[in-house]
Structure 1
Amino acid sequence: MMRFDPFRDIEELTQRMDRAFGQGNGTARLSPPVDVHEDESGLELTLDLPGVQPQDIQIEAESQTLTVQAERKYDRSEGRTAHRVERAYGTLIRTFSVPPKYDLGKVEANFDHGTLTLRVPRSEAAQKRSISVRSGGQDTGSRTLDAGKSSGTQDSKDKDGKKVNQ
């Protein structure tokens, strides 16, 4: 789950205004559509970047922020008249606030047929671990504790994967 980012609405509004009116230099800032999924291994972000070349994509990760920027260039050839230009050209940019339970130092990026897929793994500290519980010197079985939850009630599972109430 993504944390609330109070500046996201402002950024999206700015991007919509740029798209509607363009920037003063003739290129617009565009916000590509994105799908964000989460599973046990981490986050997966999938962005549509049609018409973008891989060398025109920049990905930066810093201070729990992941930024994707790409350039979709318009080919303005001499001797050619444009009667209609409806496709968007310019800078495509998206910024994501990523919770600290994910490791931005290990982001993987794959670009295929205009789709950029980013995988952000969970940090080592947020991984589930099996912990053996001993009673009177004997092993009573292992339980899996979710390290990503805050202190208090935690879900745990026994060695057969059944949920154990604590």
Structure 2
Amino acid sequence: MMRFDPFREIEELAQRMDRGLIGNNTVARFSPPVDIHEDEQGLELTLDLPGVAPDSLNIEAENNTLTVQAERKYNRVEGKTAHRVERAYGTFTRTFSIPSKYDLSKVEADFDHGTLTLKVPRSEAAQKRSITVRTGGQASQPRTVEAQG
């Protein structure tokens, strides 16, 4: 005999909403986690996309915006009852605002074992350069200065 818990239904509803499930296991959107790192070469964005097929990925770069779209399908099997569906399914869209010092025309994308890595290089105008400064008509030691982009 199961003990009555008045908060059980509320807790189950909250868990379903956290997982993106609505109603009778209808799938909603989900948002995968992302790490963003920067170094002298540019930005590196890493998204966890387990269970996403590579052909469902769509990556667009336009107007200082980088957008990643994909779908993780839920395969419901006839004759099987789902007692728990905790993994996120559905479509997602993540949009990132990329500063103009990065070149969105040269984005590289690698998808390996459910991890999508996007590399956005710095633009040529934002690269560090060595500039020779003349003093009294003579060249001095080259100094590295950061160009403003």
RMSD: 2.1
Identity of aligned residues (%): 73
Query: Larger Cα Rg: Structure 1 or Structure 2?
Result: 2
TM-score, normalization: structure 1? 0.73
Q: Which runs of 4+ in 1 moved over 4 A?
A: 17-23
Q: 2:86: which partner in 1?
A: 86
Q: Distance in 1 between matches of 2:139 and 2:116?
A: 47
**Deviation string for 1:105-154 (max 9, x for gaps)?**
000000111110000000000000111111222111111110136xxxxx
Segments of structure 2 that go 5 or more residues without pairing to the other structure are 1-16
* TM-score when normalising by structure 2: 0.81
- Alpha-carbon distance between aligned partners in 2 of 1:148 and 1:114, rounded to the nearest angstrom: 36
Q: How does 1:1-166 map to 2 (within 5 A)?
A: 20=20, 22=22, 26-148=26-148
Paired residues of 1:42 and 1:119 also in contact (CA < 8 A): yes
1:18 deviates by 8.6
Paired amino acid for 1:89 = Y
Q: 2 CA distance for matches of 1:42 and 1:32?
A: 22
Question: Which gives a bigger RCO, structure 1 or 2 (Cα 8 Å, sep 6+)?
Answer: 2
Deviations 1:39-77 (A, max 9, x none): 000000000001101111110111000011110001122
Runs of at least 5 residues in structure 1 that lack an aligned partner in the other structure = 1-16, 150-166
One-letter amino acid of the counterpart of residue 129, structure 2 = R
Contact 1:66–1:95, Cα closer than 8 Å, also in 2: yes
Rounded Cα–Cα distance in structure 2 between residues aligned with 1:18 and 1:70? 19
The 1:18/1:110 distance shift into structure 2, 3 A limit, reads: same
Report the count of equivalent residues.
132
